[in-house]
Amino acid sequence: MIWFFGRGNETTQVQTRFDNASREYVLEITRGKGEPELERFKDLAAFETRVRAVEDELRANAWVQVGGPDIVPEGWRGPVSH
């Protein structure tokens, strides 16, 4: 899923997904036209806590979510059991 945040002329994109190859949850944050910042988590609870912290930090710094999250069909599938 991808969330977009805006503040004045600035934008930030927050993307979440599950990497089936590494079996990790991935948080990707892109601020403006900068390079994406990637964080990887093996533990779902730690991943969810970090996503909430990023959202809280953005809101505390006057960022506003623009629209709802966009679902990327190939991005989030959750863990696949083999």
For residue 73, the model assigns a pLDDT of 62
pLDDT digits (tens, 9 = 90+) for 28-73: 999 999 999 999 999 999 999 999 999 999 999 999 999 877 776 6
For residue 72, the model assigns a pLDDT of 65
Q: Strand 24-31 to strand 2-7: parallel, antiparallel, or no bridges (unpaired)?
A: unpaired
pLDDT band at 79 (very low <50, low <70, confident <90, very high): very low
Q: Is the pLDDT of residue 74 over 80?
A: no
For residue 71, the model assigns a pLDDT of 73
> To the nearest 5 percent, what fractions of the chain are helix, strand and coil?
20, 40, 40
Q: How far is 73 from 75, CA to CA, in rounded Å?
A: 6
- Residues 12, 29 contacting (CB under 8 angstroms): yes
Structure tokens at 66: 């623009």
The secondary structure of residue 22, as a DSSP letter, is T
Q: Is the pLDDT of residue 24 over 80?
A: yes
Structure tokens at 45: 């609870």
What does the radius of gyration of the chain's CA atoms come to, in whole angstroms? 13
